[in-house]
Amino acid sequence: MDINLTARNAEIHDRFREYVEEKVSKVSQFYKGATSANVELTHERNPRQAEHSERIEITVFGKGPVIRAEAASVDRYAAVDLAVGKLFERLRRARDRMKDHRRRYRNVEPEDLGAVDITMPEDEQETTATEHVDPATLKVGEAVEEQLGDSPVVVRQKLHEADRLTVDQALYQMELVGHPFFLFIDADTGQPCVVYHRHGWTYGVLRLNTVVAE
């Protein structure tokens, strides 16, 4: 598995690079379809954020779903450990949920993580804007931040591809990226939907009363 390490506001030393590669490479033991991983280290310069000054974001790409986790700590090595731990936990939760689903529906596939073909753009770009953001000009994978007038409120917008998935696939993908919700288009009804965590293993689905054309 190829591991790409980048940094913002920080230098990457050989010892840290070796540590990251050793930790992240273990993901392939649990996710056989993994082909590459992007690891980003961000150093927060704001003294008020000292306790979370070192942030690690890991995104794993493969023949199946994308897996993502991030963590922050005062120490970058500790942040790596926390982020990798989250990756393993999301893989475990996803597998447990699939096993439970198969016990209730014996004809459900896939049998392994790599069988769900859900992809995301690997070349996501981050930009910051101070003027008004026109949603029509956003590119897929691009994130733009806009400050509302003179207030401290900042709104972040990001454009994603509209994947057509079943509810089960959407829940599965939500577990792997670690988000509390996941937007998608229902493959059966064509409705824009969002699945979200409620509590424990309980989830919710919100649907819009409209249909998106093929």
pLDDT tens digit string along 135-165? 777 787 777 777 777 767 778 788 877 788 9
Q: Can you tell me the distance from the alpha carbon of 165 to that of 152, in angstroms, rounded to the nearest whole number?
A: 37
Model confidence over 65-115: pLDDT tens digits?
788 888 999 999 999 999 998 888 887 776 666 565 555 444 434 334 443
Model confidence over 166-183: pLDDT tens digits?
988 888 888 777 778 889
Residue 107: per-residue pLDDT: 42
98 and 8 in a common domain:
yes
Residue 38 lies in a domain: yes
How many domains does the chain divide into?
A: 2
72 and 6 in a common domain:
yes
Residue 111: per-residue pLDDT: 38
Amino acid letter, residue 188: D
Residue 37: per-residue pLDDT: 92
Q: Which of 68, 102, 136 finishes a domain?
A: 102
Strand, helix or coil for residue 173: helix
What CATH number does residue 171 fall under?
Answer: 3.30.505.50
Residue 21 lies in a domain: yes
73 and 165 in a common domain:
no
Model confidence over 10-68: pLDDT tens digits?
899 999 999 999 999 988 887 878 899 999 999 888 777 778 889 999 988 887 778 88
Residue 38: per-residue pLDDT: 92
pLDDT at 122 over 50: no
Residue 145 lies in a domain: no
- Confirm if 61 and 35 have CB atoms less than 8 A apart: yes
172 and 80 in a common domain:
no
Helix 76-104 with 167-177: angle, nearest 10 deg: 160
98 and 6 in a common domain:
yes
What CATH number does residue 61 fall under?
Answer: 3.30.160.100
Pairing between strand 142-147 and 125-126? parallel
Please give the residue that has the higher pLDDT: either 198 or 103: 198
Residue 44: per-residue pLDDT: 85
Residues 6+ apart with CB under 8 A from 184: 162, 163, 164, 165, 169, 170, 173, 192, 193, 194, 195
Residues 6+ apart with CB under 8 A from 67: 27, 31, 34, 59, 60, 87, 90, 91, 176, 177
Domain that holds residue 196: 155-207
